[in-house]
Structure formats: structure tokens, C-alpha cells
Structure 1
Amino acid sequence: MATAAVQTTNRITGQRKWWALATVLLTMFFSSMDQTVVSTAMPTIISDLKGFSLYAWVFSAYMMASSVTVPIYGKLSDVFGRKPFYLFGLIMFGIGSAVSGQAHTMMELIWARAFQGIGAGAMMSMPRATVGDIFDPKERGRWMGVMMGVFGLSSIIGPALGGWITDTFSWRWVFYINLPFAVLAIIGVLFTLPRVRAEHQVKVDWFGSVILVVGLLPILLGLTWAGSKYAWGSPVELTLFIGGAIVLVLFILWERRASDPILTPVLFKNRTFTTSLILGVLVGMTMFGSLMFLPIYVQGVIGLNAQSSGWVMAPMMIGFIIGSMASGQITSKTGRYKVLGIVSAAVIIVGSFLLNRMNINTTWPTVVVNMVVLGLGIGSLMPMMNLAVQNAFPYRMMGTVNSTQQFVGSLGGVIASPIFGSVLNKAFAHKLTTAMPATLKQYQSKLAGINPQQLLTKQAQQSIASDFSKFGAAGHQLYLQLMHAVKVSLTFGIHRLFEVGLVFAILCFIATFFLPEAKLKGQEYFEDAGDQTKASTAATE
């Protein structure tokens, strides 16, 4: 393996590129697996640290810290190279993981997760950019597909691994397990990624970075709370949204005057870029709506054992892996992507339509087929969007382009959560008023305002059953009638949710027709770098 040299670009060539690719895939695998592993362990963590009221913040702190840093890492890595930010992200993620494992209160865990999220922002943006440093756009398609496949694989393995670690050792080890992976990745980065020396004096737009963070945080916070802690139109929500929007307007005005802006305004004048951003948000909302709420349907309506919930999304992820791998191969072979994008979006519509046909009598095999179809469509479309955007801009801007697209795409999931949550809760409450038997109408007030997801927990159902036990033998029948009404109402609510998802899928399909087609570039893609790679130390391949 070569010793990393000092260069004027991020380009990685020779045998070293395969070691760099292995490092990228390793980083993607353990960083994406972290979220699913932690999710599986959360019930145990909540029980141990006694912090159910702060449960959502374990994820929100991580999400906000990682999201707001992604654009900053991307821009700086174009100037100073990927290596220092890759290393910084891995070290921060490792420290955050270690501190999370040592947490003794929920607040300690939340702060540690925020710290971990700062590192995760680099680990989200650097891998895709590094693949772009290795392969030209025409080659890159198949490797983007492999990266998406690694993401899907980690989503399948993560829940099972999280459950096994929690049961066999302790929930603390779901965080400690990151440390050996982080050490291996750090070694890989040190030896495979080049040190980059800027060719000219660069003035970093630190003020713009601060304004961006200050503007994004209240908006992300508002989206996290909307529909759950506060109503969408509440004074708190309006203050967060309006305040954040005002700061972001100031950010835009500042960036137009900055000599080297952190978020280049010219990006948004490119039709490929703007169309891909719209597609990213729509696909994100369609995908995250399924990822978050399909397990509720499977557990609450079909009745799959909650202990098996970690495997619920495996069929969709298998479809995702197959779709991403096939999409990458087709794109690399043809050098074209628009027709593939249209077909992929059409498959997403079919998958969303099939989800809308599910009802209280739907069987598990039918759900599996529906999830595989949706996964195929989403998996084939996502790498294609990344490739189209990278191909539309010169190589020297790739970090900025990648990170901006990734940040905006991640907003799809952030926006989807409160929207879908509100749709489910309102539809569930409405249907429950008609589905509840007359003999149980007086019990309805006790369920008012309860999140339907909470009713699926073993503790909640035991509590309800115990309330009915005082009625003697008839109490059990009353309990079964109540749970049937809950199941009918939950099916109704999730059906409304899938209808919203179908609307997003249709909009996504329409948007693909506006995506400009451009032949994928080969080695000429790197010509804007001027082949300026100059090693100040002899590189040994």
C-alpha cells in the first residue's frame, strides 16, 4: 500500500485506490449500521436510564448535529482535501461512541450523541466524495451501486446485531462496537488518502458557516417537535420556522458577496442540480415514510412478534440492494441515466400503490412482495441521482456538490417524520371514534391523545388488559374488542399515510422527466484538475 503523498487535488490513482475504496465501504457500513443498532437497543436504554420523556432526543441530537455539518465538511474538503476531515469525523465519532457507552443519565447520552453526530457529518459526506476521487462518472455508477448496497446490508444486519449485543452483553456495547471499526478506518485513511495542499491562498467562509448552522438548527428543531410536542401552527413552531428562515435569508445574502462561499449559489442555477435536489427530497419522504411506519403496520395489524421487528424491513432492504447494484451496472455500461431514472420512479409508484392496497386481512408474504418492489425502485433511483449531479459539475467542486445534495436529501426524512406522524395520529383518532364498540365508548377518553405507536408496546397492552381484569370473565372479551378497534383504526391511519406516500411517489415520477440527460464523462472529467498531482514524497504503489 502506498504512503499518502502531498498533492494539489484529491485524486486517488494506482493500486492505492482499492485500499481507499475498502476504507470508504468500511466507514459507510459501520456508520450507517450505528443508527439501526442503537434503535434496537433503545427500549433497554430507556428502561436503564429512566428517560422515556427524552427518548426522541437521542436521535434528534445526532441527526441535527450531523445534518448541519455536512455542507461545511463538503466545501472545506474541496479546498484542504478529504483526509483531515475524514480523520476528524472518525475521531469525533469514536469519542462520541465511547462517551455514549459510559452515559449514566439520558442527558449525558444525548450530549454524547450530539458529539457523535458532529463526526457523523463527515462520515456521511466524505465516502461519496472519495469514490468520486477514485473513479470517473462512467465507472462510478457501479461503485455508487455497491455503496448503496452496503447501506442496505447494514440496515439488515444492524437490528439483529443490536438485539444480540444488548441481550448477550449490555446496551453499552452497541456504542463500543464502533471503536474497532473506527480504528481500522482511521488507519485506512492515513495510508490511502492524499494530503492536499491548496494551490493558492484560501479564505475560509467561517462567518457563513456559523450563519448556516444558526439558521438550520431552529428549523430542524421545529420539524422534530412538529405534530408531537407542539402543533404545527403553535407560537413555538412558528417562531422556530420564521426565525430560522430569516437567518437563512441573511445567509443567502452573505454567500452572494463572499469571495469563496461555503455554499456556492451558482449550484442552484444548474437544472440538473435543482431537479436532483427535488427528486432527493421526494424519494427521501417516500422512503422514510415506509421505513418508519411499515414496522408499525406489521406489528400492530399483521401481528408479527415485536421481537422479530428488527427483521421487518429486511425485504425492502434486499430490494434496495438489488436495485442499486443493477442500476449502477446499467448506468456504467450505457453511460446514460435518464430513462433508468424514469423507470425507477415508475417502480416506486407501483410499490407505493401496492402498499395502499394493504388492509387488515393482508398476509405477511404479500407485505414482503410489496416491500421488495418499493425497495427495487428506491434503490435504483438514488445512486443515479448522485451520479447525475456529480457529472454536471467540474471535479474541483465535487465535495461541495455532494454534500449539498446529501444535506438537502436528508431533509426529506426530517420533513417526512412529522408530516407522516401527524397524518397517522389524526386518522387513527378519527377512525377510533367510529370503530370503538358502544360498550367501550367511556374508555375512549383514556386513549385520547395517545400515540398509536405507544399502544403497540407490551407494557401498554399489559396496562390496558389489567384495567379490564376488574370486570372478571367479561373483561377479557372487552379487551379483545378494544384491541380490534385499535387494529382497525391503525390500519385506517397507515392507509392514509401510504396515500400521502403515493402522492410523493407520483411527484417524484413527474420530476424525473425534467432531469436533463448528459452523457457520463470518462477520464476527461478530471481534466479541470489539470493533472496537477505532484507528490512531494515518492509514492510506492
Structure 2
Amino acid sequence: MKVTTVDNSPTTTMSRRQVNEAFGGILMGMLVAILSTSVINTSLPRIVTDLDGNQSTLTWVVTGSLLAVTVSTPIWGKLADLFNRKRLLQISLAIFMAGSLTAGLAQTPMMMIAARVAQGIGTGGLLALSQVAIADIISPRERGKYMGFLGAVVVAGTAGGPLLGGFVTDTFGWRWNFYIVIPVAVIAMIVIQLKLIVATPKGAARIDYIGSVLLTAAISTLLIWLSLGGNEFAWDSTLSWGLGVGTAVLIAVTLIVESKVKNPVLPLHMFRERTFTLAIIASLSVGIVLYSVSVFFSQYMQLSRGATASGAGLMTLPQVAGNLIASTVVGALISRTGKWKPALIAGASLLVVGTILLSTLRVDSPYAVIFLATPIIGLGLGIMSQNLVLVVQNAANVLEIGAASSAAAFFRSLGGALAVAVLGAVLSTRVDTEIDNGLQESDIARSASGLMDGTLPDLHTLPDAVRNIVESAYGQGIGEVFLIAVPFAVIALICVIFIPNAALGNKSGIEQLADIEQDESVEAPAAVKVS
């Protein structure tokens, strides 16, 4: 058995130029994936109006994509351990482009929602498979700086997407938000085909169909329950209880099945490894903090401090700058020194400090606190997000690198969904209580306040007395939401402290697989070729 390239020349290495060119194609794929989730944010109201949709349409245009991304990520990761990774990357790009084209041509709300689901499936593949492809061609020791660039692309796409989407919508129309990513995806597909060399498991691949269906059903039910609870139905309603119990049953059945089948989509035995388990818990906690900041800080600026949407966006720039600096500089330092643990401890500590500062926010908090907290949060997230994936990949069996990498991304996304749903419900309850108390103290009847139940208040249309009450309520409520997020930042710090300080490997995934084949004393469950 021999590791060969597609032209049958025995090789397991790529030149630096080949690596950089292949990495460029991967980056382009990641960029279109991130843009697909952020570029339409500013044009959603116009899209829904033009398609004769309603508030439910807007909810499902967003939720449908989120569901597809989260559910498909671990499945794509497991497929990467069974089939040709280059081909899977191209398939995910093709699905993404088909979804984007269909969304641009959509004439009805259902057509748009279906297209967004297809986009989400492709995006899930790009997010999972990009990490695996990088592991194939770059050793853990060198991977830090590349992860830094990857993190920078994620930040740039997330922060720049709404700005680009607004410009494109005003200039060319909202449909071009979906069209503009297609040429970039085509270029990425061509570069990946020409430059990327990846490992391909060879042999009888057993797909865990039952586990895939169960995992999809369990996570879909959970996310539907968390995303729509409190909005489409009450938390204490019969439907809510049904979804909650159904989620628990499906998760239990999934765990039972995954513990017994061969090649499970989510290998539970990986959780026996301390490094993997602690890194996954840290990823879940980081996801909670990440989404808490990205969602609720903007609400604080607009609903407590009276900023416009653009003004709130500008206030996030210190966080974006901190994230960019940390992801690129710290990634390069990790590659140069091989020392990752001090960096992760520093990042988690910054996350704790930044979250504590945000928990002090109130309606009259000094802007100095905001300008101190946001870059600290950005630095912490920049250090933690991609380097936790690096730790997981470094500790994982090379034959399960796809499942391990996608698990880190999956649990971070799951943490984000939990943050948005649960903390959003906490905020809504707290704000309603504060507003009711404020109105009673000011002898203002709710019916005369100008506030509408179930909708966000428009501060500019409210009387000054009511506006002050609302701003104070949101300042209090959002500060307390960040206080709830503090323990999760602390959990991330504790996990990082107790992760074993293993040295970063010096061999790429392709080279590790070649070693397995050459070592007759190691029984590999599948033969591997390179293509």
C-alpha cells in the first residue's frame, strides 16, 4: 500500500508555494461562506417586502440557514473521514452556488427559504471541510499562523458583510447580494482543483445513516425550540413542552445509537480524551460569549444609548480590530514558538475581563468602559476561536480529523444558538419587568406609553419620559445578560488551564497518514491515498 498523488507519483509533501496557493482557494471558500450569513442582514426587510412575506418569513430566512449550517457541519466532518476531501469541498461549493443562484432568482417566500437552506448546507460543508483540508497540508506547528489568517477572513466577512450588503442593495438591488459571491466561489473551486492535495480514505466506507438522521432531527428540534420559543409560541405552551421533551428523547436515542454503530457521525469515544472534551466545552462557552456580544451589544447601543444602526456598527470596530490583531499576531507567534497554552490562557483571561466589564453596562455607563471592554473582548475571541480548533486537531487521531474539527465548530455554533435564544428570553423578561416598574413609578399607563407588545420600541417616537424608562430598562437588562455570560468565560478559562500542554506536531495530515501506512505494527482501519 502506498500514498500517491492523482498522477501516481509517490509524494506526501507540498512546496510552500503550493501550500499558499491551495490555502488561498480555501480562504476564498471560507469568505463566501461567511458573507452568505452576513451580507443579507441589512437587506432582509426589503427582501421580505418584495417577496410579499411577513415577519415569519424573515424569521425563517435566517433560522433556516442557521439550522442547515449547524446540523450539516458534523455530518460533513464525518464524510471527510470517509471520502475524498477535495471532492467534498467542491460539492459543498456547488451546493452553495446553487442555493445562492436560487435565492437571487426567488419569487416567493418558500423559494427563498428553500434556497437559504441549500446555502446553509453548502456553508456547513465549507466551514467544516476547510479546517480539515488545512490539517491535511499544514502541520500543527505551522498551522497557527494560517489559522490566524482564517480568523481574520471570518472577522472581515462578518464585520464587512452588512456594509457590503447595504451598498449592493442600494446600488444594484438585493438580488445581487446572492449573485456576487458566485464568481468568488467558482474561482475557489478552480484553485482547489488545481492546487489542493488532500488525503482520501480508501476502502469500504460505512456511512452512519441512522446516526445522521437522528442527529439532524435532534439538533433541528432543539434549534427550532430555542429560536422560536418566546416569539412564535410561549415557553410554557404545549408546543414548547412537546419540543423540549422531543429534543431530550432524540438526543438520548442519538447517544445510544452513536455509542453502538461503526463509524458514527459523532464518535463518542473522542470524549474520553481530556484534551478533546475540555476543548469542546471551551468552544461551547466561547460560542456563548461570542454570540452574546455580537447580538446584545448592538442592542445596548441602539436601545439604551440611542445610537443608529450605523453608529452601533461603528462602535464594534474596536472589537473587530482587536480580533484581527489577535488572530494574526498570536497565530504567527504560536507557529514561531510552538507554545499555544500561554496564548490560550491569556485569551480566556481577556475574555473574562472583557465580559465582566460589559456586565457593568447601564444606561449612564461612561463610554470609556465601552472602549476598554470591546477591544479586550476582541483580543480574547481572536486568540481563542481558531486556536481551540488547532488544539483539537493536534490531539485527534489523523483518521478522525474531520469529525474532530467539525465537532469544535458544531459546539461553538450550538453555544451561539443557546446564547441568542436563552439569553434573549432572559433579556425580554427583565426588560418588561423594568419597564412596567418604571411606568408605575412615573404614573404612566402602559396603554398611553406608546409601547407595543411583542415589538422592539422605536425610541424616536416615544415621549421623553417613556424613552428614559425604556433606555434604562435595556441598559439594566443587557448588563445582566452579560453578567450571565461571565461564568461561561470563566469555564473557558478553567478548561484551557487544565488542557494538557501537548507539543504541536511537525507533520501534516498527509505525512501522518503516510507514517501509518509505513508502520507495519500499526493497524490502520482504512487505506489512504492522496489526491
**TM-score, normalised on structure 2?**
0.90
Matched residue, 1:350: 353
Matched residue, 2:491: 507
Aligned counterparts of 1:487 and 1:149: Cα–Cα separation in 2: 34
Aligned counterparts of 1:83 and 1:411: Cα–Cα separation in 2: 27
Aligned counterparts of 1:214 and 1:9: Cα–Cα separation in 2: 43
Compute the displacement of 1:296 (Å): 1.1
| Residues 227-254 of structure 1, C-alpha deviations (whole Å, 9 max, x = no match) | 3323334332232232233233323322
| Residues 9-36 of structure 1, C-alpha deviations (whole Å, 9 max, x = no match) | 9966224222110011111122112222
Contact 1:10 1:81 in 2 (8 A): no
Contact 2:363 2:474 in 1 (8 A): no
Compute the displacement of 1:317 (Å): 1.6
Matched residue, 2:521: none
Contact 1:83 1:193 in 2 (8 A): yes
Q: 1:502 to 1:11 in 2, by over 3 A?
A: farther
The residue type equivalent to 1:124 in the other structure is: L
| Residues 203-243 of structure 1, C-alpha deviations (whole Å, 9 max, x = no match) | 22223222221222211211112233233343322322322
Contact 1:10 1:196 in 2 (8 A): no
Aligned counterparts of 2:109 and 2:80: Cα–Cα separation in 1: 34
- Give the counterpart of 1:32 among 34, 43, 53: 34
- Give the counterpart of 1:317 among 310, 315, 320: 320
Q: 1:79 to 1:197 in 2, by over 3 A?
A: same
- Does the alignment pair 1:269 with 2:253? no
- Give the counterpart of 1:424 among 423, 427, 432: 427
Matched residue, 1:23: 25
Choose 436-445 or 8-17, whichever is displaced more. Answer: 8-17
Aligned counterparts of 1:306 and 1:261: Cα–Cα separation in 2: 45
- Does the alignment pair 1:362 with 2:365? yes
Write out aligned runs for 1:207-226 (5 A). Answer: 207-226=210-229
- Does the alignment pair 1:492 with 2:493? no
Q: 1:63 to 1:184 in 2, by over 3 A?
A: same
- Give the counterpart of 2:505 among 521, 527, 541: 521
Matched residue, 1:151: 154
Aligned counterparts of 1:182 and 1:253: Cα–Cα separation in 2: 39
- Give the counterpart of 2:375 among 372, 380, 386: 372
Q: 1:329 to 1:241 in 2, by over 3 A?
A: same
Name stretches of at least 5 consecutive residues in structure 1 with no aligned partner. Answer: 466-478
Contact 2:275 2:500 in 1 (8 A): yes
Aligned counterparts of 2:434 and 2:67: Cα–Cα separation in 1: 34
Q: 1:7 to 1:268 in 2, by over 3 A?
A: farther
Contact 1:165 1:174 in 2 (8 A): yes
Compute the displacement of 1:414 (Å): 0.7
Contact 1:6 1:195 in 2 (8 A): no
Aligned counterparts of 1:252 and 1:304: Cα–Cα separation in 2: 46
The residue type equivalent to 2:49 in the other structure is: S
The residue type equivalent to 1:441 in the other structure is: A
Write out aligned runs for 1:231-380 (5 A). Answer: 231-362=234-365, 364=367, 366-380=369-383
Matched residue, 1:468: none
Matched residue, 1:74: 77
Aligned counterparts of 1:523 and 1:284: Cα–Cα separation in 2: 29
Q: 1:339 to 1:536 in 2, by over 3 A?
A: closer
Q: 1:440 to 1:372 in 2, by over 3 A?
A: same
The residue type equivalent to 1:27 in the other structure is: G
Contact 1:394 1:525 in 2 (8 A): no
Q: Secondary structure at the match of 2:39?
A: helix
**TM-score, normalised on structure 1?**
0.89
| Residues 180-209 of structure 1, C-alpha deviations (whole Å, 9 max, x = no match) | 111111111221234765432222222322
Matched residue, 2:523: none
Aligned counterparts of 1:11 and 1:108: Cα–Cα separation in 2: 45
Q: Secondary structure at the match of 1:228?
A: coil
Aligned counterparts of 1:481 and 1:84: Cα–Cα separation in 2: 61
Name stretches of at least 5 consecutive residues in structure 2 with no aligned partner. Answer: 519-526
Aligned counterparts of 1:350 and 1:86: Cα–Cα separation in 2: 38
Contact 1:349 1:505 in 2 (8 A): yes
Query: What count of residue pairs does the alignment treat as equivalent?
Result: 516
The residue type equivalent to 1:87 in the other structure is: Q
Choose 114-123 or 335-344, whichever is displaced more. Answer: 335-344
The residue type equivalent to 2:507 in the other structure is: Q
Compute the displacement of 1:84 (Å): 1.7
Aligned counterparts of 2:200 and 2:289: Cα–Cα separation in 1: 41
Aligned counterparts of 1:350 and 1:174: Cα–Cα separation in 2: 37
Matched residue, 1:5: 6
Matched residue, 1:387: 390
CA RMSD of aligned residues (A): 2.7
Contact 2:67 2:220 in 1 (8 A): yes
| Residues 151-186 of structure 1, C-alpha deviations (whole Å, 9 max, x = no match) | 111222212111111111111111111111111111
- Does the alignment pair 1:397 with 2:400? yes
Aligned counterparts of 1:4 and 1:32: Cα–Cα separation in 2: 31
The residue type equivalent to 2:269 in the other structure is: V
Choose 112-121 or 77-86, whichever is displaced more. Answer: 77-86
